[in-house]
Structure 1
C-alpha cells in the first residue's frame, strides 16, 4: 500500500510514483521484456513505460485528507 497525503499530488510526487513503478516493472519483467525486444526489435523504453502505467493501477493507494 502506498500512503499519500491528498495535498501532496505535486508533479514531483507523480514522478516519484512513476519511478517506483518503473523500477518494479524492470525488477519483475525486465528480462522477459528484453528477450521480447531482442526477438522483435521493439523499443525497450516504450514497452517499459507502457507496463509502468499499467503497474500503477495495481497499487493500493491510501489518501490522508
Structure 2
C-alpha cells in the first residue's frame, strides 16, 4: 500500500487543493476569521492561508493507478 500526503503531490495539484481548501474555510468560517483578524490586528489573507493549509491535512487522498 502506498501512503501519500499533500507534500508528495505535484505543485499544480497542491495549488488546486489549496484553492479548494480556502473556499471551504471561507464558506464555513469566513465571518469568524474576519472578526478574529480585526480583533487581533492580523492579516485576513494570511490567516485564511494558514487555516486552509491546516484543513488540507484533514483530507483523505484517493488515487487510481
- Per the normalisation by structure 1, the TM-score is 0.78
The residue number in structure 1 matching 2:64 is 64
Listed as ranges, the matches of 1:1-65 within 5 Å are 9-65=9-65
SS of match in other structure, 2:28: helix
Higher relative contact order (CA 8 A, sep 6+): 1
5+ residue gaps, structure 2, are 1-8
What whole-Å deviation, never above 9, does each CA across 1:13-36 have from its counterpart, x for those lacking one?
221111000100111111001001
The residue number in structure 1 matching 2:3 is none
TM-superposed CA distance for 1:37, in Å, is 1.3
5+ residue gaps, structure 1, are 1-8
Higher percent of residues as strand: 1
What is the RMSD computed on CA atoms of the aligned residues?
Answer: 1.1
